[in-house]
Amino acid sequence: MSQTAIRSGSATPADVRSTTRRDNLVINLLLVSAFVVILNETVMGVAIPRLMTDLGVTAVAAQWLTTAFMLTMATVIPITGMLIRRFPTRVLFITAMSLFSLGTAVAAAAPGHEVLLAGRIIQACGTAIIMPLLMTTVMTLVPEEVRGQRMGNISIVISVAPAIGPTISGLVLSVLSWRFMFVLVLPIALAVLVLGALRMPDVNEPVHAPIDVPSVILSVLGFGGLVFGLSSLGGATGQGVPTTLIVTLATGAVGLALFVWRQLVLQRSDRALLDLRTFRNPTFAVSVVMFVVSMMALFGTLILLPLFLQNVLGMTVLDSGLLLLPGGLVMGLLAPPVGKLFDRVGPLPLLVPGTILVAGVLWMLALVSSPATPWPVFLAAHVVLSIGLALIFTPLFTSSLGSLPQHLYAYGSATVSTVQQVAGAAGTALFVSTMAVTAARWTAGEATAIVAEAAGIRAAFLVGAILSTLAIVTAFFIRRPPRTAGAPVTDQP
């Protein structure tokens, strides 16, 4: 029975149940795959000291295992909008999980740093495809009146996987070699790949979507340059900003500007690599702004809290990871009920208290973080912050993509996923740079290293608090998507 028959009402109840089971299988496969690949994105941070010792490399070389992953994601994701339109769902899924599984196997067996880096890059190519594919598929298959529930499941992947990644990494490294971060993931990835190859149906209707090579090059220069520059900026602040880093950021900014200009030209003939007509929808445009602030707060906090717990309070890597685990679990547990609540009341009653909670926690951390602050304060702060973020992400995903016409779902998903990568890098750079500059000033004033670092982290939280306060205002401009998808967007003003 075709999707057309179901939507037209000519399908029998049995046909509808069969199709629903098929759709659930597709979405659940994509959800499990997305959780595995996104979890893998964040496990390396805690492992950097161990890798420096075991592989005999410098901190800069070891950090490339994370930087290269983010860089690859940022350059591949903008292309996924075109890929999702051009290729069947099953082909894309098998390609993505094959790349991720291959990269995981290469990393697990890597004899040295260079091969491990290659494995991480291959992993990132598969990861970059999965998330936009998941969001586009959910928007295509799930009825509008229950999309919030499904987007709640996606929010689990987006929020919980990065939150528990460092904890899992700390647990593995406390008893096993770093290789087991990949060895333990590989069977799961292969099982999902095999199940998808056997059971994953095609749920889209591929169309001819041309590949504009200049757009691909500009995308790599723009998004890649910005993510690399921003992710490198934090480590450069104490010594001044190198000329090469300034050139990298400038190249990224110019490349991004040219990329946007070319997409505006190409979309007039429906040939854009990343169709930017999504931003003509006010709800989508404002949602992207909120995504930027929320992802900066999430990733910035994930960087700062472990630093404070370990360097200021003297906790071990494992203990600091375990302290952050309850917040990640709370965020995951809240995502489905928040999605159901969104379907009933819309975004405003969720976004406003969510942004207030996030801003309130960051203001509190900016005021009380000191070597004398007991660790339960940070545990409670992280849990409350996680509750606020849980109230934000699901309404944002549903409202932003649900406000678009169906033919722009793939481009909207690619845009949101790209924004997450760039905002994550920007948040990390902003928070760490602020911390480093402030700590250097306190050290120059003859403060102890611990006191100086605490002051730097307080200053970084203050910057996050100011940004999050601005997000409260934007929450009032997010509207519930219409029940019926809008008419196709034309190029007329």
The predicted structure's pLDDT at residue 126: 92
Same domain for 241 and 130, yes or no, is: no
Confidence of residue 2 (pLDDT cuts 50, 70, 90): very low
The predicted structure's pLDDT at residue 439: 84
Q: How many domains does the chain have?
A: 3
Name residues whose C-beta falls within 8 Å of residue 233's C-beta, 6 or more positions apart in sequence. Answer: 241, 245, 249, 429, 432, 433
For residue 379, which of 330, 424, 332, 431 has the smallest C-alpha distance?
Answer: 330
Q: Which residue has the tokens 């161990």?
A: 50
Same domain for 193 and 218, yes or no, is: no
Same domain for 248 and 320, yes or no, is: no
The predicted structure's pLDDT at residue 258: 95
Same domain for 335 and 267, yes or no, is: no
Amino acid at 59: A
Amino acid at 393: F
Q: What is the mean pLDDT of residues 398-420?
A: 86
The helix or strand, by DSSP H or E, that contains position 32, with its residue range, turns out to be: helix 13-42
Name residues whose C-beta falls within 8 Å of residue 30's C-beta, 6 or more positions apart in sequence. Answer: 93, 130, 133, 134, 137
Is residue 470 within 8 A of residue 293, CB to CB? The reply is yes
Determine the Cα–Cα distance for residues 31 and 50; give it in Å rounded to an integer: 31
Same domain for 1 and 93, yes or no, is: yes
The predicted structure's pLDDT at residue 79: 87
Count the Cβ atoms, other than its own, within 10 Å of residue 220: 18
The predicted structure's pLDDT at residue 172: 83
Same domain for 289 and 195, yes or no, is: no
Q: Write out pLDDT tens, residues 190-211.
A: 999 999 888 888 777 777 767 8
Same domain for 301 and 366, yes or no, is: yes
Q: Is the pLDDT of residue 314 over 70?
A: yes
**CA angle, corner 422, sides to 317 and 414, nearest 5?**
120
The predicted structure's pLDDT at residue 60: 67
Same domain for 111 and 241, yes or no, is: no
Q: Is the pLDDT of residue 8 over 80?
A: no
The predicted structure's pLDDT at residue 194: 93
The predicted structure's pLDDT at residue 59: 66
Q: Classify residue 84 by burial, with Cβ atoms within 10 Å: 0-12, 13-18, 19+.
A: buried
Q: What is the mean pLDDT of residues 433-459?
A: 83
- Average pLDDT, rounded, for the chain: 82
Portion of the chain with pLDDT greater than 90, in percent: 21
Half-sphere exposure of 387 (CA within 13 A, CB side): 10
Domain boundary among 182, 207, 232: 207
Six token digits for residue 299: 């990733």
Confidence of residue 234 (pLDDT cuts 50, 70, 90): low
- Higher-confidence residue of 465 and 39: namely 465
Determine the Cα–Cα distance for residues 258 and 8; give it in Å rounded to an integer: 43
Same domain for 68 and 192, yes or no, is: yes
The predicted structure's pLDDT at residue 236: 53
Domain, as residue range, for 239: 212-272
- DSSP class of residue 273 equals S
Residue 332 Cα to chain centre, angstroms: 15
Determine the Cα–Cα distance for residues 383 and 373; give it in Å rounded to an integer: 17
The predicted structure's pLDDT at residue 3: 43
The predicted structure's pLDDT at residue 365: 92
Determine the Cα–Cα distance for residues 477 and 3; give it in Å rounded to an integer: 34
- Higher-confidence residue of 15 and 122: namely 122
Same domain for 263 and 288, yes or no, is: no
Most confident of 163-177, 252-266, 388-402, 404-418: 252-266
Determine the Cα–Cα distance for residues 374 and 351; give it in Å rounded to an integer: 30
The predicted structure's pLDDT at residue 19: 44
For residue 159, which of 374, 387, 399 has the smallest C-alpha distance?
Answer: 387
Portion of the chain with pLDDT greater than 70, in percent: 90
Q: Is the pLDDT of residue 116 over 70?
A: yes
Name residues whose C-beta falls within 8 Å of residue 390's C-beta, 6 or more positions apart in sequence. Answer: 155, 159, 330, 331, 334, 335, 338, 354
The predicted structure's pLDDT at residue 15: 39
Is residue 130 within 8 A of residue 37, CB to CB? The reply is yes
Same domain for 240 and 366, yes or no, is: no
Confidence of residue 298 (pLDDT cuts 50, 70, 90): confident
Q: Write out pLDDT tens, residues 124-135.
A: 999 999 988 888
Determine the Cα–Cα distance for residues 458 and 362; give it in Å rounded to an integer: 9
CATH number at 191 reads 1.20.1250.20
Q: Is the pLDDT of residue 453 over 80?
A: yes
Most confident of 33-42, 253-262, 312-321, 365-374: 253-262
3-class SS of residue 371: coil
Which of 28-37, 54-63, 213-222, 339-348 shows the lowest mean pLDDT across its residues?
54-63
Which of 35-39, 118-122, 357-361 shows the lowest mean pLDDT across its residues?
35-39
The predicted structure's pLDDT at residue 410: 86
The predicted structure's pLDDT at residue 7: 39
Domain boundary among 251, 272, 293: 272
The predicted structure's pLDDT at residue 12: 39
The predicted structure's pLDDT at residue 284: 92
Q: Write out pLDDT tens, residues 53-87.
A: 888 887 667 777 877 887 888 888 888 888 888 88
The predicted structure's pLDDT at residue 488: 41
Confidence of residue 239 (pLDDT cuts 50, 70, 90): low
Q: Is the pLDDT of residue 301 over 80?
A: no
Domain boundary among 163, 189, 207: 207
Q: Write out pLDDT tens, residues 25-56.
A: 888 888 888 888 888 777 776 677 778 888 88
Q: Which residue intervals of 87-220 are DSSP H helices? A: 89-108, 113-141, 147-155, 161-175, 180-183, 186-199, 213-219
Same domain for 121 and 263, yes or no, is: no
The predicted structure's pLDDT at residue 353: 95
The predicted structure's pLDDT at residue 235: 55
